[in-house]
Structure formats: C-alpha cells, structure tokens
C-alpha cells in the first residue's frame, strides 16, 4: 500500500539521521511510564523539510531535511489538496511510535495478532496534509521464566521471543501460564505550512 511505503520512507529518513532531531527545526521526545504489570514508551519526532521535487503522476514528493538529507515520500490519497503542493513549500513531518505491554494474570485468552491501519485527511479549507497510523496488537503466552537472566519467554501466534525485563519488581509478577498483550502504534502526520517569508 502506498501509505505504508510513505510511513517506511519517512521513518527511515528520520530514524536514520540522528542529526535531524538535533537541528533547531526538529525536535524529539521520549516518555516512559510503568505500573505493576504494565509499561509504556512513547517517542515523538517532529522535523521540518522543504519540498525539492514533485512527481504528480506517482504522487512522490522529494524532501530536503534540515541537515540537507534528501528523501522521498509517497503522498497517498489521505493527503488532501495534493495539487496545491509546490516546490519550495515547507513540510512538517511528525512521527510517533508508542509501545505498551500489559501482563494478564492467569492467561486464558487466545494467542493472536491484530493489524489495523487508518488514514485521515486535513479538513477542507486548511493547508494540504494528512496522517497514517498503523497498530499491531499481539497476545502471547508466558511459557518460561528465567530468574537468572531475568528473561520471560513468550509464545505468540507466529513465533517465540525472549523478553528481558530489567525491573526486578516487574519480573517477579510474571508466571508461566500468564499472558502478555503488546501494542505497537506507528503514526506519521505530514502537513504543509507556509515557508518562512512566504504568504
């Protein structure tokens, strides 16, 4: 899907360039929180880029980031008023990743994986823009608990993974037979804003 390609390209361009988040025209933040049997981490990167080229037929927009790095994104159908985008326009890209874990004592649920994707357009009459979000929810069984390495082994619907739990109090809560529900959300929002000095 084109929107998925756009997510991957924007994510790669932002993630592969740590300097991008260090410029005045970019910012990043990470928030982590935990409670007994629960944990969450949210990361947000906001960066500005300039439109360098536009392929109207394929809807590929070439952008230059604040460090001069050039990358391309596919402006999917969620980008309203695509035809109004011009070379030299300023684009603001916001990339959000969120990961949560929740321990479900006693298990009993079905191991599963659910993938969803949603897109949103900018409202009529505002600057061109849009957003795409992807969410993956996985329910896995706790099949082993290793106190020596503080590792919990999880069997999901497709594979088995080892989860290292650094917090000893959190580690003590997990037992064989419990389940873990993990949710990963990846969202990218692109909006056009007037370039500095332009109306």
C-beta neighbour count of 61 within 10 angstroms: 26
Residue 94 three-state SS: strand
In a domain, residue 68? The reply is: yes
Q: Domain range spanning residue 84?
A: 2-193
CA dist 55 and 145 (Å) reads: 53
In a domain, residue 23? The reply is: yes
Which among 175, 121, 138 is positioned nearest to 153, based on CA atoms? 175
**Structure token digits, residue 194:** 């007037």
CA dist 6 and 54 (Å) reads: 14
C-beta neighbour count of 70 within 10 angstroms: 13
Q: How many domains does the chain divide into?
A: 1
C-beta neighbour count of 35 within 10 angstroms: 9
Instruction: Name the residue with tokens 């993938």.
Output: 115
CA dist 3 and 159 (Å) reads: 27
Which among 38, 183, 44 is positioned nearest to 116, based on CA atoms? 183
Per-residue pLDDT of the chain (199 residues; tens, 9 = 90+): 333 333 333 333 333 333 333 333 567 778 888 889 999 999 888 878 888 999 988 888 888 887 888 877 777 676 767 788 889 888 887 778 899 999 999 887 889 999 988 766 666 665 656 677 889 999 999 999 999 999 999 999 989 999 888 888 899 999 999 999 999 998 877 776 544 334 4
What percentage of the chain's residues is helix, strand, coil (to nearest 5)? 15, 55, 30
Q: What is the pTM of this model?
A: 0.62
In a domain, residue 198? The reply is: no
Which among 53, 29, 49, 27 is positioned nearest to 41, based on CA atoms? 29
In a domain, residue 8? The reply is: yes
In a domain, residue 180? The reply is: yes
In a domain, residue 79? The reply is: yes
In a domain, residue 199? The reply is: no
């Amino acid at each position: 899907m084109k929107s998925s390609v756009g997510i991957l390209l924007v994510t790669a361009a932002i993630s592969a360039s740590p300097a991008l988040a260090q410029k005045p025209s970019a910012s990043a933040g990470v928030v982590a929180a935990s409670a007994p049997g629960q944990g969450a981490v949210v990361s947000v990167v906001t960066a500005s880029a300039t439109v360098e080229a536009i392929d109207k037929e394929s809807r590929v927009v070439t952008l230059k980031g604040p460090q001069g790095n050039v990358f391309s994104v596919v402006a999917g159908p969620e980008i309203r008023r695509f035809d109004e985008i011009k070379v030299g326009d300023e684009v603001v890209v916001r990339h959000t990743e969120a990961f949560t874990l929740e321990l479900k004592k006693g298990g009993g649920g079905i191991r599963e994986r659910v993938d969803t994707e949603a897109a949103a357009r900018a409202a009529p009459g505002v600057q061109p823009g849009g957003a795409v979000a992807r969410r993956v929810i996985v329910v896995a069984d706790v099949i082993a608990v290793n106190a020596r390495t503080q590792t919990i082994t999880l069997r999901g619907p497709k594979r088995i993974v080892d989860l290292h739990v650094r917090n000893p109090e959190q580690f003590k809560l997990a037992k064989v037979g419990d389940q873990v529900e993990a949710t990963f959300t990846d969202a990218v929002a692109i909006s056009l804003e007037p370039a500095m000095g332009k109306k």
